[in-house]
Structure 1
Amino acid sequence: MGTSDNYDVPPLLQDLKVTIHNSSMIFPSREIDRKSLVLSNIDKVLTFDVETVHFFGAHKDFPPHVVTERLKNALEDALVVYDFLGGRLKLNLETKRLEIDCTPEGAGFVVASSEYKLDQIGDLDYPHPAFAQLVQKNKDFLKEGDDPLCVAQITSFKCGGFAIGISTSHTTFDGLSFKTFLDNVASIAAKKLLAVRPCHDRHLLAARSPPRVTFPHPEMLNLNDLPKSNIFEASTEQLHFKVFKLTSNHITKLKEEAKNSISGDTTTRVTGFNAITAHIWRCKALSCDDDGNNNPNRSSTILYAVDIRSRLDPPLPKSYTGNAVLTAYATATCREIEQWPFMRLVQMVCEGASRMTNEYARSIIDWGEINKGYPNGEVLVSSWWRLGFEEVDYPWGKPKYCCPVVYHRKDIVLLFPPVDGGGDGVSIIVALPPKEMERFYGLFNKFLGV
C-alpha cells in the first residue's frame, strides 16, 4: 500500500495528560554584545513559529532528570554562540525593517511529564494533534506580552523515554541551519567542541543597491495586488490529516514510470524528490474541486523549497544561519497535468529547481526589497526528508523520531523520513478538507498502481 493501512484515522489519545512542573527563562551563560541583527528579505516574511518534537527512548545512563539539566546547560551555552536567539524581534523605526535585537532576555525552558509511556501514545509519525502538548505555546514566562524567539520543553514519559519540543521563530533558522543548531547543542551537551561554527552574517543575502528585478516572479504574491489566500495562513476549514508512506520500492516505481512515459533520450535527472513532488502535484491538482467546478483549464502551481547556499556566486558558507531557501515553482493546467506523460511533470519540477541560479535568486531577493509579498501557489512541498534531524547524536542517543506539530494549513505538504530510520522510504503528511482528501487518497493509490 502507498498509504497507512486504512483511510480511517488510527486510534489516538486526545490528551497526553501532560503536567507542567516548571516554566522559566534561561539566559546566555556568558555576557554577550548588544547589537541588532538585520533580517534578510527571505527572513522577514517568515514571522511564524516552527514547532518540532524530538522523541527519545529510555537510556539507563540518562534518565529524564539528568537530560533536563544537561539540556538546560547546553542551551545556556548555545545562547552565547547563537547570540540572537535570546533576543527579540523589533521594528527599526528608521529603516522600517524587522530586526532581531540581540539581547540577553533569554529563551523559555519548560519541564513537564506525561502520565503515559512512550509506546502508548500511538504512531509517532502520524500527525497527532495532541503532540501540541509537548511544545509550550504560552510564552509569558517573565512578563505579559514577552515573545521569546526560542522555547524548549522536555516532557518525560512513564517508561523513562522523553520528548524535547522546540519552538523557534522561522526568522531565526531554516531547516538546514536548525539542524546545525541541534548538532551544536548536542556537542555542547556532550562537552565537545562545536560541530560547526555558525555564520550569522545576514548581510550576505542583502538586496542589491539599487535592487534589480531581472526576472518575472509569478511564484510571488504581491500584497499590493488584490488580496488572495496566503499559503502560510492557517485554514478555517475542517481538515483531515493523513500520512502517506512510500517505500523505496514505491519511489523506484515512480522514477521508472517517469523514464518509461516518454520516448527518446532525456537529460532530466529523475531523482526521488523530483518524482515524489511531481506525484504529489498531480494528486493535489486533480483532487481540488473549486467549489464543485472541476475546471480542466484551471492553472495549478506547485512550490518547493530550494537551498540556495551553493547556487550563489560566491556561494554562501554551508554554516550560514538564517533562511537561505527560496521557492521554485512549476505551473500547468489541470488538463495538462492529467494528460501529459508523467516525465513531463518531473521535467517541470526539475526545471523549476534549475531556474534557481545566482541571478534568479538575487532577483527574488530584490523583488522583496521593492514589494511586500509571499510565495503563492496551490501547494508547497516542504521537505524535511534529508535534513537529518533524526541523525543528531546527543549524549543520550539519537531521536526515535522527529516531527512537526500539526498546523492547520491545507496547502503545505511535508516530507519526512520514516520512524526509527526505517529504510529509504518517505512519509508524506497531507492535510485536506474531507472530500478533497478522499479524491487525493484515490489518486495517490491509482497512480501508484496499488
Structure 2
Amino acid sequence: MGVSYQESPSLLLQDLKVTIKESTLIFPSEETITNKRKSMFLSNVDQVLNFDVQTVHFFRSNKDFPPEIVLEKLRKALVKAMVVYEFLAGRLRLNPSSGRLDVDCNGAGAGFVTAASEYTLEELGDLVYPNPAFAQLVTSQLESLPKDDQPLFAFQMTSFKCGGFAMGLSTNHTTFDGLSFKIFLENLASLLSEKPLSTPPCNDRTLLKARTPPRVTFPHHELVQLQDSKTSTVFEATSEHLDFNIFKISSQQIQSLKEKAVRSSSSCSVRVTGFNVVTALVWRCKALSFTKVEEEDLEKESTILYAVDIRGRLNPQLPSEYTGNAVLTAYAKAKRKALLEETFGRIVEMVGEGSKRITDEYARSVIDWGEIYKGFPHGEVLVSSWWKLGFPEVEYPWGKPKYCCPIVYHRKDIVLLFPDIDGDSKGVNVLAALPSKEMTKFQDWLEDTLS
C-alpha cells in the first residue's frame, strides 16, 4: 500500500500564538432591492444541518499582495458579496407560526476578524495533518454578541510572519453545501478582482419544498427519526481517545482498485469510479475493524453513508447555482460477513447502487419523509469527501491556495477524504479516527484489500 503515517501530536504546534487584532461586524454594501426585511425558507434538507462548518485556506506570501492590502480587499469584497448572498448577514431563528427554522434576513451583519500568528507558514508543518490548533485560525462565535445573535457567517484572516496568511471561514451548514460554497468562493474571487460575479446565486430554497400532501414512497433505511429535542445529530464528537491516521492512496492504487473491481464484478450496472472504489475500501476496512472476529459480530449489519448531489437528478433540474443544501445521503448496507467474503467488485457495486437509487422520486420521498418524521441520516460510518470539491482550484488575485481543509474534530464514525497537497492530484488522503486497536485492524484490512 502507499505511505501511511500518523504524526505524533507532540510534534505538532499546540499553540499557533494567534493574536486577535480586530473583531467586528461587516454589513451589506447597499440595501436589498425590496428594502424590506424578509425571511428565507429553509428546506427539510437544510433544517437538519444547523451546525457550523469551519474551513481554512492557506496562502503563500505574494510580494504584490502583502497581508494589509489583502485584508482591505477582502473586507470590501465580502461587503459586496452580502448584497446577493443576503442571508449571510441574517440570523437563524425558529419561526413560531410554522415551528421551522428559517433565516431572518435582517442585515444584522457577518463576523470579520483580523489576527496574526507569531509563526511562518512553513513552521506550521504538514498542513494535511488535522492539527487541532488550526481552530485558532477560525472564528465562529463573536464574544461581543449574545448567543442568540451570532452570525451565520464569520471570516477571519490570520497573517503569518513570512507574509503568507490563512482565510478562516465559519458558515452555518444551513447556508451552503460544498458545491455552493465553492461557487461562493469563486464569486468572492471575482469581486476581489473587481469583476462581475462568475455565477450569480439562486437563493430560492422553496425549490426543495415538500409536496402537499407529503408522500413517502420508498423505505429510507438511511434515516432515523428524531427521538427528542435534545438530539441534534447522530455523528457527535466523542470523549474516547482516538488515534488519527492518514492513509495516502495513490492514483496508481486507485486505478488498481478499479481494475480489481471490474475483474470481480458480477454486472456492469454501476460505474466503477475513483470515489466508489475508495468508499468501498473504507467501508470494508471500517466494518471489519472491530477487535473480535466472531460469528455473532459478522452477522451484524453495517451501513455506510455518503453525500450525493441531486441538482441534476430532479425533474425539473435544480439550477447549478442553487445555494442551499442540494445533497442527500446515499447508503449501502450489508452484513459484515458479506464485506469479509464478497468480492471487492460486489462491494463497489453495493456502494454505487446507493447513488443510483437517488432518482427524482426518491429525492422527493426523502424530503417528504423529513416533513412528516423530523430526523436525520444514520449509519455506522459516513464518508465525508472533500476530495473533488475544488476549493484549492479557486484563483484569487494573489494566487491559488497552498492547501484548504476543514477543522477536524474527533469522530470515529466519520472518515474524511482529502486531496493531496503539492503532489499526486488524482490520489487521495483517507483520514480515519479510531481507538488504537481498531486502527490497527483498519490498517491491516486496508493492506489486505489493496494487495
TM-score range, shorter chain: over 0.9
Query: Partner of 1:274 in structure 2?
Result: 276
After superposition, the C-alpha distances for 1:271-309 in whole angstroms (9 at most, x for unaligned) are: 111000000000000003489997000100000100000
Deviates more, 1:240-249 or 1:293-302: 293-302
Match of 1:345 in 2: 347
Determine whether 1:136 maps to 2:151: no
Assess if the C-alpha contact under 8 Å between 1:288 and 1:294 holds in 2: no
In the alignment, which residue of structure 1 is the partner of 2:303?
Answer: 301
State the alpha-carbon separation in 1 of the partners of residues 350 and 339 from structure 2: 11
Aligned to 1:112, the other structure's residue is in SS state strand
1:186-215 alpha-carbon deviations (Å, 9 max, x no partner): 111110010101000000000000000000
Deviation at 1:7, TM superposition (A): 7.2
Map Cα deviations across residues 375-405 of structure 1 (whole Å, 9 max, x no partner): 0000111111111100111111110100010
1:390 and 2:397 aligned: no
Tell which deviates more after alignment, 429-438 or 63-72: 429-438
- Any idea what SS the aligned residue of 2:4 has? coil
Which residue of the partner structure matches residue 12 of structure 1? 12
Q: Which residue is equivalent to 1:74?
A: 77
- Residue of structure 1 in register with 2:418 after alignment: 416
**Match status 1:259 vs 2:262:** yes
**Counterpart of 2:379?**
377
Amino acid at match of 2:92: L
Aligned partner letter, 1:351:
E
Alignment match, 1:93? 96
Structure 1 pair 441/231, CA: closer, same or farther in 2 (3 Å)?
farther
Deviation track 1:52-103 (CA, whole Å, cap 9, x = no partner) reads 0000000011011111111111111111110011000011101111000001
Unaligned runs of 5+ in 2: none
Q: In the alignment, what sits opposite 2:56?
A: 53
How much identity, in percent, do the aligned residues show? 59
Residue of structure 1 in register with 2:68 after alignment: 65
* Superposed counterparts of 1:25-424, under 5 Å: 25-32=25-32, 33=35, 34-143=37-146, 145-224=148-227, 230-262=233-265, 266-289=268-291, 295-420=297-422, 422-424=424-426
- Alpha-carbon distance in 1 for matches of 2:394, 2:274: 23
Please tell me whether the aligned partners of residues 58 and 167 of structure 2 are also in contact (alpha carbons under 8 angstroms).
yes
CA 1:95/1:357 → structure 2, altered by over 3 Å: closer, same or farther? same
Q: Give the Å deviation of 1:422.
A: 3.6
Deviation at 1:438, TM superposition (A): 1.7
Aligned partners of 2:138 and 2:156 also within 8 Å: yes
Deviations 1:150-201 (A, max 9, x none): 1111111111110001000000000000000111111111100101010000
Change (3 A) 1:348 1:291: closer
Tell me, in whole angstroms, the C-alpha distance in 2 between the residues paired with 1:351 and 1:10.
43
Structure-2 separation of matches of 1:162 and 1:317: 34
Query: Is the Cα–Cα contact under 8 Å of residues 57 and 160 in structure 1 kept in the other structure?
Result: yes
Structure 2: distance between partners of 1:328 and 1:293 = 28
Cα deviation, 1:118-175, whole Å, max 9, x if unaligned, reads: 1111111111111011011432334564210011111111111100010000000000
Deviation at 1:228, TM superposition (A): 9.2
Q: Is the 8 A contact 1:390 1:399 kept in 2?
A: yes
Aligned residues: 448
Quickly say closer, same or farther: Cα 1:292–1:169, change in 2 above 3 A.
farther
TM (norm. structure 2) is 0.95
The Cα of 1:261 is off from its aligned counterpart by 2.3
